C-alpha cells in the first residue's frame, strides 16, 4: 500500500520536500512508516520525542494502523512556531537536531550553547526534577522575549529531566539571528532567564 506524508517547517527542510509518498506492507503501523523515513533521513529521528503525528487530519500514536491512501502529517510542536521549539525530555540531547531546528536562510549567525554537568568533587551525575507544564510555558515566554529583545529569528531550548552523567549536556539553547553579536547575547540572556524563572531543580549524585 502507499501513503502520503506531509512535512512541515524544519522537517520539510531536512527531507527537502513538502510531501513524499511511501510504500508499506499491508497492515503497517505509523511506527513502521517512521522507521522507514528515519532510515532515509536519519536527522529527523533527533526530533522524534517532540514530533506531532496525525493521520487523515487527526492526531495519532505510533501504534496506529495505516491504510491505503492515508495522509500522514509530521509536525513540530505547535508552541515552537514555524521553527524552533521548547522541550523537557529524559533522552539525551541531540545537538545537531537542535541546531537544525533554528536554521534559516536569512540568518547570518547560529549559536548553540550547551550546559554540561561539571565534574565537581564527589559528583558523578546530576538528577533534574522539573515541573514540566510550567517549565514549558516559561521557556516559550523566554523565546518570545528573545525574539523581541534581540531580533532572534528562531530559538530552541531543550532541558534534560532525570539523571545526567558528568560531561553530558543538561540544557541546550540554539538561536539564529541576522548578525553574530545578537545571537551570542540572546543565548547568554536566555540561559540567565532559565535559571531565574524556569522551575527546574538539581541534586548531586
51: pLDDT strictly greater than 90: no
Residue 39: pLDDT band (50, 70, 90) is very high
Q: Which pLDDT tens digit goes with each residue over 95-148?
A: 998 998 999 899 999 999 999 999 999 999 999 999 888 998 899 999 999 999
Q: How far, rounded to the nearest angstrom, does the alpha carbon of residue 34 sit from its chain's CA centroid?
A: 17
Residue 18 burial (CB count, 10 A): 11
83 pLDDT band (50/70/90 cuts)? low
The pLDDT of residue 80: 43
| Position 77 confidence tier, pLDDT thresholds 50, 70, 90 | low
CATH 3.40.50.300 describes domain 2-76: no
Of 9, 61, 57, nearest in space to 33 by CA: 61
Q: What does the pLDDT read at residue 10?
A: 80
pLDDT band at 81 (very low <50, low <70, confident <90, very high): very low
Note the pLDDT tens digit of each residue in 12-31: 888 999 999 999 999 999 99
CATH topology of domain 80-204: Aldehyde Oxidoreductase; domain 3 (3.90.1170)
Q: What's the pLDDT score for residue 13?
A: 85
Closest CA to 101 of 27, 38, 60, 51: 51
Lowest mean pLDDT: which of 6-15, 19-28, 79-88? 79-88
Of 140, 146, 144, 176, nearest to 158 (Cα)?
A: 140
CB atoms within 10 A of CB 59: 11
The predicted structure's pLDDT at residue 110: 97
E-only strand ranges, the chain: 2-7, 19-23, 52-55, 58-59, 71-75, 86-89, 109-116, 125-130, 154-160, 162-165, 169-177, 200-204
Q: Where are the domains of the chain?
A: 2-76, 80-204
| Percent above pLDDT 90 for the chain | 75
Beta strands in 8-124 (DSSP E): 19-23, 52-55, 58-59, 71-75, 86-89, 109-116
Mean pLDDT rounded to a whole number for the chain: 92
- The fraction of the chain above a pLDDT of 70, given in percent, is 97
The answer to whether 69 and 22 are in contact (CB under 8 A) is no
**Measured distance between the N- and C-terminal CA atoms of the chain, rounded to whole angstroms:** 51
What is the torsion angle, in degrees rounded to the nearest 10, for the CA atoms of residue 169, residue 103, residue 3 and residue 27? 0
**Can you give the pLDDT at residue 75?**
85
Amino acid at each position: 500500500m502507499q501513503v502520503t506524508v506531509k512535512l512541515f517547517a524544519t522537517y520539510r527542510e531536512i527531507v527537502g520536500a513538502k510531501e513524499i509518498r511511501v510504500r508499506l506492507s499491508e497492515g503497517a503501523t505509523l511506527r513502521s512508516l517512521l522507521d522507514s523515513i528515519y532510515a532515509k533521513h536519519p536527522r529527523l529521528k533527533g526530533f522524534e520525542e517532540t514530533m506531532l503525528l496525525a493521520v487523515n487530519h487527526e492526531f495519532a500514536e505510533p501504534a496506529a494502523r495505516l491504510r491505503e491512501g492515508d495522509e500522514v502529517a509530521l509536525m513540530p510542536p505547535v508552541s515552537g512556531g514555524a521553527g524552533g521549539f521548547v522541550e523537557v525530555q529524559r533522552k539525551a540531547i541531540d545537538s545537531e537536531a537542535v541546531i537544525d531546528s533554528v536554521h534559516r536562510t536569512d540568518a547570518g549567525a547560529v549559536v548553540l550553547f550547551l550546559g554540561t554537568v561539571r565534574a565537581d568533587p564527589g559528583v558523578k551525575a546530576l538528577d533534574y526534577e522539573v515541573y514540566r507544564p510550567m517549565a514549558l510555558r516559561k521557556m516559550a515566554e523566554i523565546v518570545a522575549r528573545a525574539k523581541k529583545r534581540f531580533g532572534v529569528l528562531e530559538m530552541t531550548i531543550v532541558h534534560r529531566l532525570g539523571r545526567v552523567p558528568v560531561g553530558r549536556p543538561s540544557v541546550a539553547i540554539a538561536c539564529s539571528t541576522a548578525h553574530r553579536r545578537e545571537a551570542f547575547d540572546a543565548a547568554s540572556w536566555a540561559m540567565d532567564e532559565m535559571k531565574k524563572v524556569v522551575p527546574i531543580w538539581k541534586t548531586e549524585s
